[in-house]
């Protein structure tokens, strides 16, 4: 599995509860926080749901 870097670049304040919980499930705690996650269909689906708040790098 490859790893990707995910950074939150926009605030989740105006987002729905579901999108906020998705950010928490990814492990992103605050703005400009970068995490490194394994690529899997589940993780890619979560990233796709909140892609307007994130920057993804390979």
Profile the chain (58 residues) by mean pLDDT over runs of 10 residues: 94 95 95 95 97 96
Q: Residue 24's pLDDT is what?
A: 95
Structure token pair of residue 17 = 């509860």
- Among candidate residues 33, 43, 32, the one with its CA nearest the CA of residue 3: 43
Q: Residue 1's pLDDT is what?
A: 78
Report the distance separating Cα 58 and Cα 5, nearest Å. Answer: 6
Do residues 46 and 53 lie in contact, with contact meaning Cβ atoms separated by under 8 Å? no
Fold classification of 3-57 (topology level): Ribosomal Protein L30; Chain: A, (3.30.1390)
Angle, alpha carbons 13-33-26 (nearest 5°): 75
Provide the whole-model pTM. Answer: 0.89
């Amino acid at each position: 599995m490859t790893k990707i870097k995910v950074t939150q670049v926009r605030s989740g304040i105006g987002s729905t509860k579901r999108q906020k919980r998705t950010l928490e499930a990814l492990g992103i705690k605050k703005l400009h926080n970068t995490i490194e996650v394994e690529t899997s269909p589940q993780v890619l689906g979560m990233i796709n749901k909140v892609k307007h708040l994130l920057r993804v790098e390979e």
